[in-house]
Amino acid sequence: MPVNPEPRDAALATAVPEGYSLRILTEDEVFDAAAIELEVFPRDAWTVPMLQAEFTGPYRIYLGVFDENSTMVGYAGAMRGGDSIEIMTVGVIETARGKGLGRTLTMALLRAGKAAGVEMAFLEVRESNEIAASLYRSLGFEEIDRRKRYYHQPTEDAVIMACKLD
What ranges do the domains of the chain cover? 7-118
**Does residue 63 contact residue 76 with C-beta atoms inside 8 Å?**
yes
Q: How many CA atoms lie within 13 A of 82 on its CB side?
A: 3
DSSP label of 36: H
Q: CB 136: neighbour CB atoms within 10 A?
A: 26
State residue 5's pLDDT score. Answer: 56
Catalytic residue ranges? 124, 136
State residue 23's pLDDT score. Answer: 94
Q: Which of 120, 166, 124 is nearest to 147 (CA)?
A: 124
Does the domain at 7-118 match CATH 3.50.50.60? Answer given as no
Which distant-in-sequence residues (6+ apart) come within 8 Å of 66 by Cβ?
Answer: 20, 21, 22, 23, 72, 73
What is the distance, to the nearest Å, from the Cα of residue 64 to the centroid of all Cα atoms in its chain? 9
State residue 3's pLDDT score. Answer: 40
What is the distance, to the nearest Å, from the Cα of residue 6 to the centroid of all Cα atoms in its chain? 18
- pLDDT tens-place values along the chain, 166 residues long: 244 457 778 778 889 999 999 999 999 999 999 999 999 999 889 999 999 999 999 999 999 999 999 999 999 999 999 899 999 999 999 999 999 999 999 999 999 999 999 999 999 999 999 999 999 999 999 999 999 999 888 899 999 999 999 8
